[in-house]
Amino acid sequence: MADQRFGGIKIRHLYKIFGPNPGAHVDAVKKGLSKTELNEKHGHVLGLKDINVEIPSGRIQVIMGLSGSGKSTLIRHINRLIDPTAGEVLVDGVDVVKMNETELRTFRRHQTAMVFQKFALLPHRNVLDNTIFGREVQGMERSKAVDVAMGWLERVGLKGFESKYPNQLSGGMQQRVGLARALSNDAPVLLMDEAYSALDPLIRTDMQTVLLDIQKEIKKTIVFITHDLDEALRLGDQIAILRDGEVIQQGTSQDIVLRPADAYIANFVKEVNRGRVIQVDAIMTSLHSGAVPGGLTIASGTTVEDAVRILASAAHDDARVVSPSGEALGLVTFRQLAGAMVNSQEVAPRRDSALSVAL
């Protein structure tokens, strides 16, 4: 398994300007020169502006935005496929920007792996040989590389397909090969750039499930790029939303849905299935001091949608929200749950609840 000492990623004051003399315009951008002005007056394009993102080890960080928002540019700075105009990209405390050629080559081989939107499989190699490619580059002997690769091919559902070639596989199967190849490298950082956006909806959902199931075990630091909010909300421990090269909002999926930073974000989340995102902790009512009611219990962290099912199947109007140790944290009613699924404004939470802050 990957090095457990890995400490995560910190991106600090990152700027990227595209053009013949980008460094000459950084200070002007820092002082407020807009993307439009930079292009019209100086013929340069602002790709990223003052990006600050901290990604804890073992978490899935989703970077979301529409086409042209800068999300793919951002992920390519982590393994320095793109050099920044200014700023730092710290991976396990080491600034990738300052690495020399040898250090960068070693870093790319052992610390990061990437899954691409267009699969990027080698057409002349079969599934097995595509999967072991990263290990070959690392210098691992073939027999060991094959053992590792076969284990991951089985995990992603491709056992028995190792002798097939990419043109004999469906799009979903090719992306599974790409994922197995990345996982075989055993790098602590996994970069996924629109990895599932070329797949049909059902296959895409299936691949999301595969990733989440594997992540429970491997706990890699994953940076996942997407333009799809439902995908972002399902996968992300944290989400950062970009617009025109700037981070507009960062937070958990629940933060984004309950507290959109502006009208742009609110427009993104208005059609979200809130019941799958909001958790009972955000809408429960405080228990009176010393009150420990009996009846139905629901675990802290349960989504509103699942809580509705629990109450409905038990024919109860309310339930206690309890911690993993069984401590009573609050009380949630069917009315609160139903209101949260429709609109947060219709919920009547306790005054100190997370939702009341959002309102």
Residue 263 in tokens: 């009208």
CA distance 149 to 159: 10
CA distance 74 to 51: 9
Instruction: Map out the domains of the chain with their CATH numbers.
Output: 56-81+100-269 (3.40.50.300), 275-358 (3.90.1280.20)
Per-residue model confidence (pLDDT) at position 143: 94
The pLDDT tens digits along the chain (359 residues) read 344 446 699 999 999 999 999 999 999 999 999 999 999 999 999 999 999 999 999 999 999 998 889 999 999 999 999 999 999 999 999 999 999 999 999 999 999 999 987 778 999 999 999 999 989 988 999 999 999 999 999 999 999 999 999 999 998 899 999 999 999 998 999 999 999 988 888 989 999 999 999 999 999 999 999 999 889 999 999 999 999 999 999 999 999 998 899 998 988 888 888 888 899 998 899 876 555 556 899 999 999 999 999 999 988 889 999 999 988 889 999 999 988 887 644 333 333 333 333 32
158, 128 Cβ separation under 8 angstroms: no
Per-residue model confidence (pLDDT) at position 198: 81
CA distance 328 to 291: 9
Per-residue model confidence (pLDDT) at position 7: 64
Per-residue model confidence (pLDDT) at position 294: 66
Neighbours of 60 (CB within 10 A): 23
Single pTM value for the model = 0.85
Query: Residue with structure tokens 């595509």?
Result: 130
Per-residue model confidence (pLDDT) at position 339: 86
304-314 helix and 334-342 helix, angle to the nearest 10 degrees: 140
Q: State the maximum Cα–Cα separation within the chain, in Å, rounded to a whole number.
A: 70
Strands 318-322 and 328-333: antiparallel
